[in-house]
Amino acid sequence: MVITEIFKSIQGEGTRAGLPCIFVSLTGCNLRCTWCDTAYAFHGGTKYSLDEILRRISELAGGEDRRVALVEITGGEPLLQPETPELAKKLLESGYTVMIETSGERFIGALPREVVKIVDVKCPDSGEPDTFDMANLDAVDEKDEIKFVISSRRDYEFAREFTAVHRLAGRVHEVLFSPIFPDPAGKWEGLNARELAEWILADGLPVRLGLQLHKFIWDPAMKGV
């Protein structure tokens, strides 16, 4: 597999935000979202065997008395690499809770059922609308999460309607509305989290506001966190 980085940090997003987590960031992505904060993972990377990846994760996890038990497979787009389901399977067999974050453009059905899937639905202002594989709606279940990254009122209204039409709150553990964090280099503006929260409250949506916790702890441009 081609890996951009493997590191230990605090989970910054989703319902497990704040927990220690080991991240396996795979290289390569076939989408080009306008606000992508991991463009450095598009190219390059280092080739690792599955055994080498598992060994590195074990080193980062520590001994039994302080073991980090949460692993997230991310990218890039992790489902571009055919070995990803097997990596997830081996991690599950080793006793880890395994998450995968995916753009939603690839079908998630090849992954082991026990994997917690965090599946994006791309909003209009991402620059990648209509890329979501609708078959994923039947592949998610009550432990999974569906996420919308929102940069504008138009994005919010799209996410609100998609959530209602497809009854997402009844399909998954949580629906996440995450505001865009401003780019440190000024390439794009952020969406004020308070503004998004007020929209959610005004419409009484059954969704969770998701903030990128790691960007409040460390420099937003820092890698490996």
Q: Report the C-alpha gap between 180 and 190 in whole angstroms.
A: 5
In this structure, are strands 20-26 and 2-10 parallel, antiparallel, or unpaired? antiparallel
Query: Which pTM value belongs to this model?
Result: 0.91
pLDDT digit string (tens) for the chain, length 225 residues: 999 999 999 998 899 999 999 999 999 999 999 998 888 889 999 999 999 999 999 999 997 777 899 999 999 999 999 999 999 999 999 999 999 999 999 999 999 999 999 999 999 999 999 999 999 999 999 999 999 999 999 999 999 999 999 999 999 999 999 999 988 888 888 999 999 999 999 999 999 999 988 877 777 767 777
At 51, list the tokens: 């055994």
Place of tokens 């419409």: 203
